[in-house]
Chains A and B, each alone.
Chain A
Amino acid sequence: MVRTMGFKQAKADVLDALLNGRYQHETRKGAIDKNLLQTGAMSPVELSAVIGRCRGQHHSMSTHHQIPAITVHVLKRDEWYIKFYFIDPDTYFISVHQTEPEP
């Protein structure tokens, strides 16, 4: 089932998913894009460390652009941009990439 939740639960659940390998990577237009966790440029341990440093101010939520019932979570921390959602029992990563540093 599609779930909605706030920051604390989302953080706990995404960390749990990374630990247990209970996640998938969304592919757009049937192709592999720049999701660094999907392409192996970043490990689940490294991503967990970034997410572990996230606090409420680094988190925002929006609805999925195609399925409004799905809440998409965005974490922005230390120039990392992490976007994911949950469809039980899995976590789906849309984006894991680095952003341009602030000038």
Chain B
Amino acid sequence: MKLYKQGDKSKAVCETCKDVISTTFDYRTVPFSDGSGEVKNILVAVCDACDAVIATPPQSTPAIKNARETATKSIEVKLPAPYLEILDLAAYRIDAMASTSFRKSLLTYYIHLHYGLIKTDNMPKRSIVKSYPKKVPTKRLSLKVAPRLYDEFEYIMDATDLKTTGMIKEIVQEIEKDIVRPKKPKHLVELQRLAMVTTA
């Protein structure tokens, strides 16, 4: 197995310099793109021209994995497909350029919204949970969130006495009521800004 060492030279594409540039391996702290944390002092390839971190070698992966696991928590549910379609339609209504990746932003926005309401003793009104025929396919929804947001999610589950799937269903139905059904969607300006930032 190749072992890269500090001071080793290599070549890689630097998106800042827009060229294939010579690189030098060195130790740097690298953030995660979703803002959930960073990996401290891992070996990376640094652009010799602009000093940007432009690549990581395989030997840095265990440290990245470790930091990733402590930086994110996972919310995993299986839902009848219409729930995801509601989310996608809401995302499409907010911003026609939004993709399925906006699902996470939309859900986290509403988790935070619920948390704020419950914290100020404004318990959101419970929806009647829809049931779908068994032949309707189910789909997996996986959200990787920062520990802070996961804590809020656990708080609202506890306050509403719902489990993970029930809570997500409740939130999706809230999104349907706020965004999909009304002639004028709620929180539209704010959500459009969010869509612009997350799809940029």
Chain A interface residues (CB < 8 Å from chain B): 2, 20-34, 37-41, 44, 64, 66-67, 70, 87, 90, 92, 100, 103
Contact = CB atoms under 8 A, between A and B. Distances in A.
Given A23-B57, A24-B57, A27-B54, 13 more contacts: A25-B57, A26-B12, A28-B15, A30-B31, A33-B33, A66-B13, A66-B19, A67-B13, A87-B11, A87-B12, A87-B13, A87-B20, A90-B12
Nearest to A29: B33
Interface in B10-45: 10-13, 15, 18-20, 30-33, 39, 44-45
B1 A32 contact: no
B140 to A, nearest CB: 9
Interface stretch (B58-66, B156-164, B186-194): B58-66
A28 B12 CA distance: 12
Nearest to A85: B13
B55 A92 contact: yes
Nearest to A23: B58
Interface residues of B, number: 33
Given A21-B2, A92-B13, A100-B100, A27 B20 contact: no
A37 B61 contact: yes
B15 A29 contact: yes
Contact of A32 (B10, B32, B62): B32
